[in-house]
Amino acid sequence: MKQIKLFSHWKVSTRLAAGFGAVMVLLFALAGLSLWSLATVQGTTETIVRQRLPAVKLANEAAVLTVDTGRKMRALLMAVNGLEAKEAMQSVEANRARIADALHRLDGMADSAQSRALVKAVRTEHATLEQKFEPVLVLARGEDPKAAEVLRSEFVPANRRFETALQELVKHESAAMNASAAASASTYDSTRIVLLVLAATALALGAGIALAITRGLHRILGGEPAEAAGILRRIAQGDLDVVVETREGDDHSLLHAVGETVGQLRGLMGEVATVMGGVAEGDLTRTMDGSYQGAFATIQADINRSVQQLAQVVKDVNAAAESLVGASEEVSATAQSLSQAATEQAAGVEQTSASMEEMTASIAQNTENAKVTDGMATKAASEAAEGGEAVKATVAAMKQIAQKIVIIDDIAYQTNLLALNAAIEAARAGDHGKGFAVVAAEVRKLAERSQVAAQEIGTVASSSVEMAQRAGQLLDAMVPTIRKTSDLVQEIAAASAEQASGVGQINAAVTQLSQTTQQNAASAEELAATSEAMSGQAGNLQQAMGFFRVGAPTPAGQAATTAIAVAAGKAQPPARPRAMPAASAAADEVDFARF
């Protein structure tokens, strides 16, 4: 009992962890001891299999080969022909090689001082034996009768000593192998006893821990876990009539706490059902009056406050519905007035739109006229430039004519001189030159007339050149003026286009304003219809709120009613916009044309 009380304050998780921890420690001890035993047996077995047994086999093999070698040596000496001698020689050499290989492998298997000493003795006797082979073989190859004597006196004793050394090694390795097997068996027996003791201890300790944990859990739970789970499941399903039975004196178990919780929930939910039933019947005067703590007290306060707030809301809604009926009538009247004003404003906007369309047409006509004038001015400037070029060409031609006339004048002057010379010569010739003198006189007259005509033509050409130059200067002066006129006309056309664009934007704005005004009129009509519907809904709301039974109206409800009434009284119909007179809105087409 002292031990149970000592661990009574431990958590369930701590108890389970301690119990299973103790069992696991014992299991780890069992596993560790088993692994150690297996490792020991495995080491012993490995020593036997890899060292002792192979060493015994190799020593026995070398001993057998040694005996066979002695027989083959005798067979070599007694051979009657060369073939038998050759076969005996080959057998001897093969046995020597196999013995040497076996001894070489034995060198690596000696694991103790005694083993190494025995292997060394075997090596020594083998070396001595090898020295006895050559004399016998040499004598045998030469068929010397002394070979048999040497074989009996030297080779056979050395061969026997070698066999004895091998037998000693075999005895030692066999004894070591038997000792290892005995040690392995002893280890197995002792380990089995310890494992059985530890297993029995683990079972006893595990059973004790399981019993202690079970009894502790039963005291903590107060009953079977399935019973507690069934009770909680019925509570979760809403069954609060469940009866929780506990042992006498049990006032700390989980089942006892569940019973107390069920009692608290039963009382709480009973009052909640009473209050919510009253709410469902329209009675908002019921409240929860029980005594609760913690979250239950919070739920009680929240439900009571919710019912009170709901009652207050119902009172406020009743008061607001009464005021809403009057306010909706005021809104309806205001909406009708607003609709009429919007209709009149729409008519004025339509008149303004028509005037703006007339202005747009006039500006478009001015723009077209400016474009035609611009084309004519451009054409006149081009033709004036071409005329100036033609006059310049005429001036150049007149100058060339004047130059040619000067040449003609020179020719006439030269002709006159020649005619004068001819007349002089004809006078010198006397009667023979009279006819020639007459011709020279006619030629002189003709030359004088040509000279006079050339001078007159030169005068006229000079005068024409001056006049043509004057005309060219006038045309050159006209071209910039005509181009300036064309630029001004283009500027007028651009300004007209900008005016047309601006008037188009104004027209679009006026159109949009007209649409907005029409929408406002429609919205006002809808507002009037909505206010009438709102008045009907307010009446329905009053009828619906009449379902609830509440106390006298609170100051908050009266304040809400007063606020709604004041807001309804302040609602005034908007001022009617004045329509723009048609005479002032119309466009003056004459002014636009004059511009």
Structure tokens, 528: 């009037």
**Structure tokens that stand for 205 in this block:** 């300790």
Confidence of residue 2 (pLDDT cuts 50, 70, 90): very low
Q: Mean pLDDT of all residues in the chain?
A: 72
Which pLDDT value is given to residue 470? Answer: 76
For 453-470, give the secondary structure using H, E and C.
HHHHHHHHHHHHHHHHHH
pLDDT digits (tens, 9 = 90+) for 342-389: 777 777 777 777 777 777 777 777 777 777 777 776 777 677 777 777
pLDDT digits (tens, 9 = 90+) for 258-284: 666 766 677 777 777 787 777 777 777
Residue range 79-98: mean pLDDT, rounded: 77
Higher-pLDDT residue of 573, 449? 449
If one counts every other C-beta atom within 10 angstroms of the C-beta of residue 531, the result is 20
The Cα–Cα gap between 70 and 91 comes to 11
Residue with tokens 């004045």: 578
Helix (H, G, I), strand (E, B) or coil at 285: coil
Residue spans of the domains in the chain: they are: 12-221, 226-281, 303-547
Whole-Å CA distances, 444 to 161, 313, 410, 427, 457: 183, 144, 14, 15, 20
**What distance in Å separates the CA atoms of residue 308 and residue 315, rounded to the nearest whole number?**
11
Check pLDDT > 50 for residue 238.
Answer: yes
Give me the pLDDT at residue 250, please. Answer: 65
CA 253 – CA 255 distance, rounded (Å): 5
Mean pLDDT over 471-476 rounds to: 72
pLDDT of residue 595: 32
Closest CA to 94 of 65, 122, 71, 58: 65
> In the prediction, which pLDDT does 252 show?
64
**In this structure, CATH architecture of domain 12-221:** Up-down Bundle (1.20)
Q: CB-side exposure of 62: number of CA atoms within 13 Å?
A: 30
Residue 80 has pLDDT above 60, yes or no: no
Q: What is the DSSP string of 332-391?
A: HHHHHHHHHHHHHHHHHHHHHHHHHHHHHHHHHHHHHHHHHHHHHHHHHHHHHHHHHHHH
Q: DSSP alpha helices (H): ranges in 222-293?
A: 225-236, 254-280
C-alpha to C-alpha distance for 323 and 534, rounded to whole angstroms = 12
d(CA 307, CA 312) in angstroms, rounded, equals 9
Task: Say if 12-221 and 303-547 have the same CATH topology.
Answer: no
**What is the reported pLDDT for 205?**
77
Fold for the domain defined by 303-547 = Helix Hairpins (1.10.287)
Q: Tell me: the pLDDT tens digits for 102-134?
A: 787 777 676 678 777 887 888 888 888 778 777
CB contact at 8 A, 210 and 19: yes
User: Which pLDDT does position 302 carry in this prediction?
Assistant: 85
pLDDT of res. 130: 78
Average of per-residue pLDDT across 430-456: 77
**Above 80 in pLDDT, residue 459?**
yes
For CA atoms 295, 296, 297, 303, the dihedral sign is positive
pLDDT given for residue 219 in this prediction = 66
Rounded to a whole number, what is the distance in angstroms from the first to the last CA of the chain?
124
Angle at 393 between CA 392 and CA 395, to 5 degrees: 65
CB atoms within 10 A of CB 514: 18
Q: Which amino acid is at 113?
A: A
Q: In angstroms, rounded to a whole number, what is the distance separating the alpha carbons of residues 202 and 205?
A: 5
Name the CA dihedral angle for 405, 409, 414, 417, rounded to a multiple of 10 degrees. 160
Q: With b meaning 16 or more CB within 10 Å and e meaning fewer, what string describes 10-33?
A: eeeeebeeebeeebeebeeebeee
* Tokens read off for 59: 């020593």
**145-197 tens-digit pLDDT:** 676 777 777 777 888 888 888 888 778 777 777 777 777 777 777 777 877 88
> Residue 283: beta bridge partners?
549
Confidence of residue 249 (pLDDT cuts 50, 70, 90): low
CA-based nearest residue to 205, from 35, 24, 6, 34 = 24
pLDDT category at 583 given cuts 50, 70, 90 is: very low
Determine the pLDDT at residue 579. Answer: 42
Cα 8 to Cα 215: distance, rounded to the nearest angstrom: 11
In this prediction, residues 501-525 reach a mean pLDDT of 78
User: Tell me: the pLDDT tens digits for 303-344?
Assistant: 888 877 877 777 777 777 777 767 777 777 777 777 777 777
Torsion of CA 287, 293, 296, 299, to 10 degrees: 50
**Distance between CA atoms of residues 231 and 258, nearest Å:** 8
